[in-house]
Amino acid sequence: MTNHFTAHDTHDSFETDRGALRHETNRSEELYGFLRTLTTIALDQTRQLPKPVFELDDTEQQQVIERVNAYCRYEFNQVPELHGLAIKACGTGMMFLADDDGVIMGAEQIYEGDVITGLILDPCIFPVPTIECLAVSGDGKIPVDDQTLSGVITLQAGKLTRVSDTQPGAAEVYDLANFQVSLPLAHYLRFAVDA
């Protein structure tokens, strides 16, 4: 049997590949644009506060969070392509783990080499420990001596791939599907569409 390969076949295949690449590029641009918007909202709101986030009492913090998250919801609804988008994050920082109702159950430090993947569930803004607090953390404890308002991307159906401390070149995979995973933009995390 002879396979026939024509210039027409190549052109169609190239156009399909180019269309998929253009779609992937658009989703990446939308993701990066939204992350910049979320960061800008958090920074603008922080500058408008009468005192540092850490010095606000619980009622004041809640009022700020409710006000600023109205902006987040509006901006997120402007880019429906991001709803449920598979993304990955790596770098250094922390992640919050919450139950299905969004009640935070704990936090985990993220180290260079770790990769977190999942589907975008919801963005929001809330106070998180500063990157300086993370720098002095130890023994699995993250001090909360200072906070900043941060954009936060919450993922569902998540997975953490962590470089093994004991076996060079090996990685451990943790299923986070039972948690909502929240990643602060104020930390040194890099985000990308997970193709």
The alpha carbon dihedral of 61, 64, 67, 68 has a sign of: negative
158 CB-near residues (< 8 Å, 6+ apart): 116, 117, 118, 176, 177, 179, 181
The residue written with tokens 């992350």 in the block is 35
Q: What is the pLDDT along the chain (195 residues), one digit of tens a residue?
A: 443 333 334 444 444 454 544 556 789 999 999 999 999 999 999 899 999 888 889 899 899 999 999 989 999 999 999 999 999 999 988 899 999 888 889 888 898 999 999 999 999 998 888 777 666 666 666 666 678 889 999 999 899 999 877 787 788 999 999 999 999 999 889 999 997
Answer for the pair 164, 178: CB distance below 8 angstroms, yes or no. no
76 CB-near residues (< 8 Å, 6+ apart): 34, 82, 83, 122, 123
Long-range contacts made by residues 52-60, C-beta under 8 angstroms, separation at least 24?
Answer: 52/146, 52/147, 53/127, 53/147, 53/148, 53/149, 54/127, 54/144, 54/145, 54/146, 54/147
Pairing label, strands 115-129, 147-163: antiparallel
